[in-house]
Structure 1
Amino acid sequence: MAYVSGPVLKNAATFGGYHVKSIISYIPVLTIWGVAGGAALATFTENWPLFQKTFYEKIPVIGNHWIKEVDPEAAQS
């Protein structure tokens, strides 16, 4: 049997005062909240012209949904 002079202590890796293992365990929850927040933002700003021109018209496949083409003949009358 070997003699141990004291306890063997190890430092846990930290980032900003938080342990890395606890940060990693929060990643799935934060991802779900981030996606839900982005979906809520997209839902509530869909009809705002500034958001339509800045973001939604530039979406590759479905961006044409927000582009409004006015018929020139209908606009004059």
Structure 2
Amino acid sequence: MRVQYRYNPSVVGFTPQVVARWVPIFGFWGGALGLGALFFLEPIPRVRNVILQKIPVLGSYWDRPVDPNDSPF
């Protein structure tokens, strides 16, 4: 009987099979944390104007015009 060696690539102990199993899980939690942070930062005007108003269907929800009486200009 002859011993056959097979190359099993790994980086710091993570094989491609382990990475393929964990990527969807981390992707889901990363997306959930990103959306949570986005809505947590909603009161900041720059986040509202640059990110949230660019959403195609829901962007008008975050459009908050300034009353001309309140505008300093």
Residue identity over aligned pairs, in percent, reads: 25
2:34 corresponds to which of 27, 38, 47: 38
Using the size of structure 1 for normalisation, the TM-score is 0.73
Secondary structure in 1 aligned to 2:19? helix
Amino acid at match of 1:60: P
**Residue pairs, 1:50-65, within 5 angstroms:** 50-65=46-61
Deviation at 1:44, TM superposition (A): 0.8
Deviation at 1:71, TM superposition (A): 4.6
- Match of 1:60, SS state, is coil
Name the one with the larger strand percent: 1
Which aligned runs of 4 or more in structure 1 are off by greater than 2 angstroms?
69-72
Bigger radius of gyration among the two = 1
- Number of residue pairs the alignment of both structures matches: 69
Give the aligned CA root-mean-square deviation in angstroms. Answer: 1.9
Q: How does 1:60-75 map to 2 (within 5 A)?
A: 60-72=56-68, 75=69
